[in-house]
Every structure is written in C-alpha cells, then in structure tokens.
Amino acid sequence: MADTPMIEIDAVSRYYGIYRALDDVSLDIAAGEFFSLLGPSGCGKTTLLRSIAGFDTPTSGDIRIDGHSAIDLPPNKRPTNMVFQNYAIFPHLNVEENVAYGLKRLKLNADDERQRVGNALEQVRLAHLSKRKAHELSGGQRQRVALARALVMRPKVLLLDEPLSALDKKLREEMQVELRTLQKAVGITFVLVTHDQYEALAMSDRIAVMFGGRIAQVATPKEIYQHPLTRQVADFLGGMNFMQAKITSESAVNLSVETTRFGNVTIAKPKGFTANNGQATIGIRPERLRVLWDDAKADCEVTGHVVDRHYFGEITHLIVDVPGLEKPLSVSETNNFGADDIPVGAPIRLAYDPDALVAMAD
Amino acid sequence: MVALPGSIDAESKQPLVGSRRWAASDEAKGLTLISPTLLYALALLFLPVLIVIAYSFWSQDYLTIDRSFTLENYRVALTEPIYRDLLWRSLTISLVVSVITVSFSYPVAWFISFHGGVHKNLWLFLITVPCWTSYLLRVMSWKVILGYQGVLNTGLMSTGLIDTPVTSLLYNSNAVIITLVHSWAAFAILPIYVSLEKIDRSLIEAAHDLGDNKVWSFLRVTLPLSLPGVISAFLIVMIPTVGDYVTPKLVGGKDGVMIATAIQAQFGKGANWPLGAALSVTTMVIVSAMAGLMVLALKLFVRRIK
C-alpha cells in the first residue's frame, strides 16, 4: 500500500442517541482491493458501508475516497456505487432500463449508452434477459442486474451489502467465485459486508472483523484465521479450543507458556496482549488436532477418550475429554480413515503441531 | 362491477369431477362468503342502473310512460344548449377539482409517508377528523368563510389587503371548486399515501446512488411507483364530483349549477323521468370515457419521464 489508499476511514463514530453504532473506527482500504467487513448483526458493518456510500452521516470523523473528503457529499456525488441487500431493482423498468438508469444522468449519446449497457450485461451474463422486468427474474438474476447497474457507472469503489445472503447455498458458492473473478477483471475496489465467515475468507484480500461498533482485527483471511487477535475473533471465524496457560517468560514478540496437556511452548505474542494473573488464553483449531490410529507415533500427543461424535458427511466432529483440561477438546477429522466409526467412549490419541497453538490478547 | 374470485375462469375449464367436490372447493367457499355482498350489490346497484338505462329509451306521455323504443331523449340531452352547457360545466368543474385535489393531496401524503416518522398514524387521524362532521355542515361552513361578510373577506379587510369585500368568492363555480376540493382531500390523500408507503425505500436510495438528486429520484422512481395511488385518487374524486348535487345547490348560486341539478329537476318538477334517465346515462358514459382518458394520459406522462 505505497499509494494513497482508495478509502480512508478516519476516526469515524456514529451515535444513535447513546447507542454507539460505530465507535472511533479507522481503516484504510487500498485501490483494487477486495475488502470485507465481517461481523455479527448489529456490529456496525452496514452502518460503516452506508457511511461510505453517503446514506448515513457519521457523528464525527472523516471519510476520504481517492484522497478527497466525501463526508459532506450526497450519495449521488460520490464515486461509489452500491449493490443493495435486497438488490433494489426498479420494478417499473426492465433489465436494460435498470442498468441504463444511472447513465441517463451522464448525458451520453445513444450509441455509447447502448454499448455500455450491453457490455455490463455481458459481464454478468444477462444479455439474453435484457427485456425482462424485475418480477420475472430469479434471485441470482436480480443480483446480476444489481451488479451490472452499479458496474456500468464505472465507480471507483463498489459497495456490496450482504449481496449473497438471499441466495441458496449452491448459488451462493457459485456467485462467490464469480464475484471474485469479476473483481479481478474490472480491477475496482470492492467493499463487501457479510456475516458469513466462509464468504469473507473465500473472497477477500483482507478482512476487517467488527464487534460492537469497533474493529477487532484487520488482516488477510489466512492471518485472521490462523492468528486471531482476540477470543471473539477466533470464535467468530470457526471453532477454537480455548485453554488457559501459565506464562513463564515474555519478550517483546514472544510468549513462553506452560500448558497442562500441550507441554511448554513459545508462541507469537498478539498485539495488545495483557496477561491475566500470569495467565494467557491460548487455543488450537479443531482441524489442527489429528487422530492417531493404532500404533502411529507423533512428536506431540494428547490422550483422552471420545465423549460425543457429530457426523457432517466429509468430516466428523469428535468431542474428546482430556484429563486436566477444563473443557473437552473439539476435534475435526476427515472421514477418509474412518473417524465416523470411532465409538463414543473409546480411548483416543491426538497429534498436534505446537506451531498450531495461538495466543489471544484477552 | 362486482369482483369475482380470479380463479373462477381457470377452475371452470377443468372438468368437474363432481358437484360434491366443487362444493368443498375454495371457489365455492369464496362465492359463499361474498354472496351477501354480491346479492346486495346486484339488487341495489346493478338493477337500478338497468332500470335507468331502460327508462332512457322510453318516453313520458303525461302521467304514463310510453314504453316504445326511442332515441329522442338522447337527442335532447346531447343537442339542447342548456344540457350541453351544464354537462360541459360539470365536467370542467370535476376535472379542475380533481387536478387541484390531487396536486394538493400528493405533497400531504408524501410528507406523511416520508417524514411522518413515528406520528404517521396521528397525521392520518387528523386528516380524517373533518370527515366526522356531516358533509352538509362542512359545505355550510364554507358559506360562512366565503360569504360577503364572511371570515375570509373580513379577515382580508382587517389586514388592509382589500378595501371592499370580494364578491367573486361565493355563489359561483369558484365556490363549488373550493368546497369540493376541501371535501374530497381526505379521499385523495389516503390512496396516494398507501401507494407511497408501498415503495421500498431502498429503491430511492438506489436512485440516489446511481446519480439522481432528490428531484430526479422523485420523478423517476417515487412518482411512477405511486401512480396507481394517483390514478385511484383521480377517479375517486372525479367520478362523484361530476354528479354532485348538494355543493352546487348550497354554494354554487346561478353560475355554479351542475348537471345533477338538471337531472333532479327532470325526476322532480319536470316530471320527465326518461329525459332525466337519458341525462344520467349520458353523464355516466362521458365520465367513464374521461376517467379512462385520464388514466391513459397519466400513464403516458410517466412513461415520458424515463
């Protein structure tokens, strides 16, 4: 990010009475980036997106788009376009007229306009439906119209408000790939709001995880999944086995901890870490624990017995009680080797890689 | 005239397996449910209209009715200058009244729908308050306001805007228009309000997002989508005002007489029911045609804006 960021969110707060929808949020989004705002409902992600679009005015702070302050600009003067959650397709216009809607204000000549509309419809593979009305379209088709209608304006930033939440699972996965491909093709900055962690992980260059009007962590999907800064982030992005560990030594970047069942390990110290009575919260993802079959050996092992089992088709979740741990471990194992046949109550050995242990700031 | 369940055509095309099954169908239940209303409407609306139409083709022979077919009544209704003028005046007044009522009501409905906030229902309630008093009383109170010594004249004189009372306020077509606009405003506001409420607000946001300012988004999204409400408001006001009898009688004076007064005269003192019936039917046909034209014109107007 050597250039100026495409979007600079500078200490933005938004209060509704005493309720803080956004609490001193600062964020930079680079040009050409696919950026996701991820969080549970009510975390402020939509308020932030609407503030960028101009539909909501922050109580304080500044928003700069492409280097210019946009805080006083109405939505129609901002170089952003939005794909609404319900797509907001104009019901009195057909597909073509919907896509051409914004172009009418640009006073293009008829040929240019027709060409741009045609190109945009090609881009979202809807050229064959150009005369259809909104009510004659399926959910996926409506979404494509909304996309084409925004992209035809050639915005600097495309804002997407939970665009896939109304689609069924299969279509949603297809559209994830398609959106990602489209973003790479047009090279526009995409800002996506979602509450679906898999969607954010699969599509984004970077993710900002938000809770209660604040940003908890901004990082690449891999970084955020493997090194969540806080318990909340770790929990929101998939399962995590949490445990307390005693700190034996602490440097500027590392923590050495003594665990009850995972030995003594040295792990990276998260930003903003504060010890709690000499204890640190550490965790390991369920899929980083592997079942050891028969007499297989591993450098690092924990032993326990299965107390519960949940079958998910390609994987099985095993709940493993390990003596000395405050909570049973959750283990996610593929069914290739018969994890779905392990009986409840059976003793089990689990292998792990000490690098898979992470420390969290709280 | 009476709306039957929409499924009736599709259903009846399928072979009937048995009358028993039909009796248990949704269609039968629907028809049973609406039958009191249906019979009521047939008896009190459809039959009288048929009788009026029948009368219009007969003629009056002093105290008896000559039931041989004739078009003479229609010739009189359409060619006699007095009826032509009255009909023309009635149509003009009702058109002016509906245009003014709808143009005044739209902003009110728009304000309540878009800026009514949590008090929407209170606003709507306040709009219906004048309708709690009798229609006659409301018309009479306009006499008090518009009269020579009325509220408006004395008010304007005390502010020094005029020296002598304005006489063109009462007992002419202006008075009829003013009174009718006031009487019908609530009936125009409600359908427009309902159609505005139905508009998804994200559509207006989408219009802003795509570059429209407030005026353009109103013209390109809000207005076309509220058109059904505007059309119903137009029809609700226009159709009954053409035949209004009370208002012209009370505040219209000589210049404000409308066709209903002439029809009443034929059924009353004139004792020429067939002519009265022909005048009624003529008015009905012309009003229907005008209403249809209004709907078409509004639709064309909105299509032009795109």
Nearest-Cα residue of chain B relative to residue A53: B209
Instruction: Please check whether residues B36 and B181 belong to one and the same domain.
Output: no
Nearest-Cα residue of chain A relative to residue B211: A76
Report the gap between the CA of A88 and the closest CA in chain B (Å): 5
Neighbours of B150 (CB within 10 A): 18
Per-residue confidence band for B176, with pLDDT thresholds at 50, 70 and 90:
very high
Note every long-range contact of A165-170, with CB atoms under 8 Å and residues 24 or more positions apart, other chains counting: A165/A85, A165/A194, A165/A195, A165/A196, A166/A85, A166/A86, A166/A87, A166/A139, A167/A139, A167/A140, A167/A143, A168/A139
CB contact under 8 A, B202 and A74: no
Per-residue confidence band for A14, with pLDDT thresholds at 50, 70 and 90:
very high
Instruction: Look up the CATH number of the domain holding residue B71.
Output: 1.10.3720.10
Burial (CB < 10 A; 0-12, 13-18, 19+), residue B94, is: buried
Using an 8 Å CB-CB cutoff, list chain B residues near A135: none
pLDDT surpasses 70 at B247: yes
The amino acid at residue A275 is: A
Residue B89 lies in a domain: yes
Instruction: Please check whether residues B22 and B132 belong to one and the same domain.
Output: no
Using an 8 Å CB-CB cutoff, list chain B residues near A54: 208
Using an 8 Å CB-CB cutoff, list chain A residues near B212: 76, 105
Instruction: Please check whether residues B38 and B61 belong to one and the same domain.
Output: no
SS3 of residue B16 by DSSP:
coil
First to last CA, chain A: 29
Instruction: Please check whether residues B22 and B122 belong to one and the same domain.
Output: no
Instruction: Please check whether residues B202 and B277 belong to one and the same domain.
Output: yes
pLDDT in tens, A139-166: 889 999 999 999 999 999 999 999 998 8
Residue B51 lies in a domain: no
* Residue of B298, B297, B177 lying closest to B237 (CA atoms): B177
Percentage of residues in chain B having pLDDT higher than 90 = 49
Nearest-Cα residue of chain B relative to residue A101: B210
Instruction: Please check whether residues B41 and B62 belong to one and the same domain.
Output: no
> Which one of A76, A86, A113, A151 would you mutate to disrupt binding with B, by most B Cβ within 10 Å of its Cβ?
A76
Return the bridge partners of A23, or none. Answer: none
Measured between CB atoms, which of A90, A102, A150 is closest to B203? A90
Are A29 and A189 in contact by the 8 Å Cβ rule? The answer is yes
pLDDT in tens, A210-224: 999 999 999 999 999
Report the gap between the CA of A111 and the closest CA in chain B (Å): 17
In this prediction, residue B4 carries a pLDDT of 44
Report the gap between the CA of A218 and the closest CA in chain B (Å): 27
Residue B260 lies in a domain: yes
Instruction: Please check whether residues B17 and B89 belong to one and the same domain.
Output: no
Q: In Å, what is the CA distance from B262 to each residue of A48, A330, A347, B102?
A: 67, 91, 103, 28
Instruction: Please check whether residues B156 and B221 belong to one and the same domain.
Output: yes
CB contact under 8 A, B213 and A153: no
Measured between CB atoms, which of A53, A86, A93 is closest to B209? A53
- Backbone phi, then psi, for A26, in 5-degree steps? -125, 140
Instruction: Please check whether residues B25 and B104 belong to one and the same domain.
Output: no
Q: Picking from A75-84, B47-56, B109-118, B247-256, which range would have the lowest pLDDT averaged per residue?
A: B247-256
- In total, how many domains does chain B have? 2
Going across the sheet that includes A157-161, the strands are A80-83, A157-161, A189-194, A34-38, A206-211, A214-219
CB contact under 8 A, A84 and B208: no
* Residue of B254, B289, B276, B238 lying closest to B92 (CA atoms): B238
CB contact under 8 A, A75 and B203: no
pLDDT in tens, A34-47: 999 999 998 999 99
Report the gap between the CA of B258 and the closest CA in chain A (Å): 40
In this prediction, residue B9 carries a pLDDT of 46
Instruction: Please check whether residues B209 and B150 belong to one and the same domain.
Output: yes
Per-residue confidence band for A120, with pLDDT thresholds at 50, 70 and 90:
very high
* Residue of A195, A148, A160 lying closest to A85 (CA atoms): A160
Measured between CB atoms, which of B213, B224, B225 is closest to A76? B213
Q: What is the mean pLDDT of chain B?
A: 87
State whether the Cα torsion A348-A352-A354-A356 is positive or negative.
Answer: negative
Are A171 and A140 in contact by the 8 Å Cβ rule? The answer is yes
pLDDT surpasses 80 at A330: yes
Which residue is associated with the tokens 């665009």?
Answer: A163
> Which one of A82, A142, A160 would you mutate to disrupt binding with B, by most B Cβ within 10 Å of its Cβ?
A82
Please enumerate residues of A whose Cβ is less than 8 A from a Cβ of B. 53-55, 74-76, 80-82, 84-86, 88, 90-93, 97, 101-102, 105-106, 149-150, 153
In this prediction, residue B18 carries a pLDDT of 63
**What are the structural domains of chain A?**
7-231 (3.40.50.300), 239-360 (2.40.50.100)
Per-residue confidence band for B10, with pLDDT thresholds at 50, 70 and 90:
very low
In this prediction, residue A284 carries a pLDDT of 94
CB contact under 8 A, A75 and B205: yes
Residue B52 lies in a domain: no
pLDDT surpasses 70 at B16: no
Q: What is the DSSP string of A161-217?
A: ESTTTTS-HHHHHHHHHHHHHHHHHH--EEEEEES-HHHHHHH-SEEEEEETTEEEE
**Higher pLDDT pick, A282 / B63:** A282
Residue B167 lies in a domain: yes
pLDDT surpasses 70 at B108: yes
Q: Picking from A90-99, B11-20, B231-240, B277-286, which range would have the lowest pLDDT averaged per residue?
A: B11-20
Instruction: Please check whether residues B8 and B61 belong to one and the same domain.
Output: no
Instruction: Please check whether residues B132 and B253 belong to one and the same domain.
Output: yes
Q: How far is CA B214 from the centre of its chain?
A: 31
Q: How far is CA B228 from the centre of its chain?
A: 15
In this prediction, residue B230 carries a pLDDT of 93
Report the gap between the CA of A267 and the closest CA in chain B (Å): 48
Q: In Å, what is the CA distance from A137 to each residue of A122, A125, A130, A142, A278?
A: 16, 13, 11, 6, 60
pTM: 0.83
Residue B50 lies in a domain: no
Return the bridge partners of A316, or none. Answer: A311, A333
In this prediction, residue A169 carries a pLDDT of 87
Measured between CB atoms, which of A55, A76, A97 is closest to B211? A76
In angstroms, the CA B71 to CA A110 distance is 56
pLDDT in tens, A300-322: 999 999 999 999 999 999 999 99
In this prediction, residue A223 carries a pLDDT of 94
Domain coverage including residue B26: 1-45
Residue B109 lies in a domain: yes
Measured between CB atoms, which of B200, B205, B210 is closest to A55? B205
Nearest-Cα residue of chain A relative to residue B228: A92
SS3 of residue A351 by DSSP:
strand
pLDDT in tens, B182-219: 999 999 999 999 999 999 999 999 999 999 999 999 99
> Which one of B210, B217, B218 would you mutate to disrupt binding with A, by most A Cβ within 10 Å of its Cβ?
B210
Residue B15 lies in a domain: yes
Report the gap between the CA of B212 and the closest CA in chain A (Å): 6
In angstroms, the CA B163 to CA B166 distance is 9
In this prediction, residue B17 carries a pLDDT of 55
pLDDT surpasses 90 at A199: yes
DSSP label at B270? T
Q: In Å, what is the CA distance from A142 to each residue of A1, B135, B275?
A: 35, 50, 59
